[in-house]
Amino acid sequence: MEFNVVHGSLTRQPSDVLIVNLFEGVKTPGGGTGAVDKALDGAITSLIEDGDFEGKLGETIVVRGCKGIPAKRVMLVGLGKSGDFGVPQVMRAAAAAARKSHELKAKTAASILHGAGIAGLPAFDCAKAVAQGTILGAYEYTRLKTQDVKAQIETFTIVEMASEKISEIERGARVGEVVGEAVAWARDLINGPSNYVDPSYLAEVARELADQFGFECRVRDRKEIEESGMALVAAVSRGSSVEPRFIELKYDAPNAGKTVAIVGKGVTFDAGGYCLKSSEGMYGMKDDMAGAAAVLAAMRGVGKLKPNVSVLALVPAVENLIGATAIHPGDVFKSYGGKTVEINNTDAEGRLIIADAVAYAREQKVDEIIDLATLTGACVVALGRGISGILSTSDKLAESLIDAGKVNGEVLWRLPLYDDYKEYLKSDVADLKNTGSKDGGAINGALFIREFVGDIEWAHIDLSAAVVDKDTDLARKGATGAGTGALIGYLMSL
Q: How many CB atoms lie within 10 A of CB 119?
A: 16
Interatomic CA distance for residues 27 and 184, integer angstroms? 36
Answer whether residue 199 is part of any domain.
Answer: yes
Strand ranges inside 8-150, DSSP E: 17-22, 60-63, 74-78, 108-112
Say if residue 157 is in the same domain as residue 202. Answer: no
Active site residues: 277, 351
pLDDT in tens, 60-111: 999 987 888 999 999 999 999 999 899 999 999 999 999 999 999 999 999 9
Same domain, 477 and 348: yes
Q: Which amino acid is at 315?
A: V
Burial code (b: 16+ CB inside 10 Å, e: under 16) for 398-420 equals bebbbebbbbbbbbbbebebeee
Asked whether residue 336 falls in the same domain as residue 478, the answer is yes
Phi, psi of 325 (to 5 degrees): -110, 10
Q: Domain end: 161, 177, 207, which one?
A: 161
User: Do 214 and 89 share a structural domain?
Assistant: no
Domain assignment present for residue 389? The answer is yes
Percent of the chain predicted with pLDDT > 90: 95
Q: Are residues 455 and 329 in the same domain?
A: yes
427 and 283, same domain (yes or no): yes
Task: Give the pLDDT score at 413.
Answer: 98
For residues 119 and 234, membership in a common domain is answered with no
Q: Determine the straight-line distance between the first and last CA of the chain, rounded to whole angstroms.
A: 29
User: Strand 108-112 relative to strand 368-373: parallel, antiparallel, unpaired?
Assistant: unpaired
Q: Identify the pLDDT of residue 116.
A: 85
The pLDDT, as a whole number, for residue 470 is 96
Would you say residue 13 lies in a domain?
Answer: yes
For the cut 80, the answer to whether the pLDDT of residue 148 exceeds it is no
Does 136 lie in the same domain as 28? Answer: yes
Q: What does the pLDDT read at residue 246?
A: 98
- Residues sharing a CB contact under 8 Å with residue 193, sequence separation 6 or more, in sequence order: 144, 286
**Burial code of 232-263, b = ≥16 C-beta within 10 A, e = fewer?**
bbbbbbbbbebbbbbbbbbbebeebeebbbbb
Between CA 17 and CA 97 the distance in angstroms is 10
For residue 149, pLDDT beyond 90: no
Contacts of 78 (CB under 8 A, 6+ apart): 21, 22, 23, 24, 53, 54, 55, 56, 57, 58, 59, 60, 93, 96
Q: Give yes or no for residue 146 having a pLDDT over 80.
A: yes
- Assess whether 209 and 247 both reside in one domain: yes
The strand ranges marked E within 242-387 are 245-251, 259-264, 266-270, 310-320, 332-334, 340-342, 368-373
Among candidates 152, 184, 174, 135, which has minimal Cα distance to 16?
152
Whichever domain contains 270, its CATH number is 3.40.630.10
Residue 430 pLDDT class (50, 70, 90 cuts): very high
Closest alpha carbon to 62 in 54, 53, 49: 53
Q: pLDDT digits over 350-370, tens only?
A: 999 999 999 999 999 999 999
Spatial contact of 303 and 217, defined as CB atoms under 8 Å apart: no
On whether both 14 and 133 belong to a single domain, the answer is yes
**320 inside domain:** yes
Residue from 281, 283, 284 nearest 347 by CA = 281
Alpha-carbon distances, residue 314 vs 153, 157, 409 (angstroms): 34, 37, 24
The answer to whether residue 176 sits within a structural domain is: no
What integer pLDDT is reported at residue 254 of this predicted model? 94
The model's confidence at residue 135, banded by pLDDT at 50, 70 and 90, is very high
Q: Which residue range(s) make up the domain with 24? A: 2-161
Would you state the pLDDT for residue 485?
98
Q: Are residue 96 and residue 199 in the same domain, yes or no?
A: no
Arithmetic mean of pLDDT, 24-31: 94
161, 196, 226 - which closes a domain: 161
Average pLDDT over residues 365-378: 98
- Integer-rounded Cα Rg, in Å, for the chain is 24
Average per-residue pLDDT for the chain: 96
151 in the same domain as 198 = no
Q: pLDDT per residue over 29-70, tens digit each?
A: 999 999 999 999 999 999 999 999 999 999 999 998 788 899
**Count of Cβ atoms closer than 10 Å to residue 46 Cβ:** 14
For residue 168, tell me if it sits in a domain: no
Per-residue confidence band for 162, with pLDDT thresholds at 50, 70 and 90: very high
Distances in whole angstroms, Cα of residue 61 to Cα of each of 55, 114, 136, 158, 450? 10, 16, 20, 19, 50
Q: Is residue 182 part of a domain?
A: no
For strand 368-373 and strand 259-264, is the pairing parallel, antiparallel, or unpaired?
parallel
Sign of CA dihedral 294, 212, 157, 166: positive
Amino acid at 458: W
Domains held by the chain: number: 2
| Residue 332 belongs to a domain | yes
The percent of residues above 70 in pLDDT, for the chain, comes to 100
pLDDT for 39:
95
Mean pLDDT of 256-275: 97
CATH code for the domain in which residue 98 is found = 3.40.220.10
pLDDT at 120 over 90: no
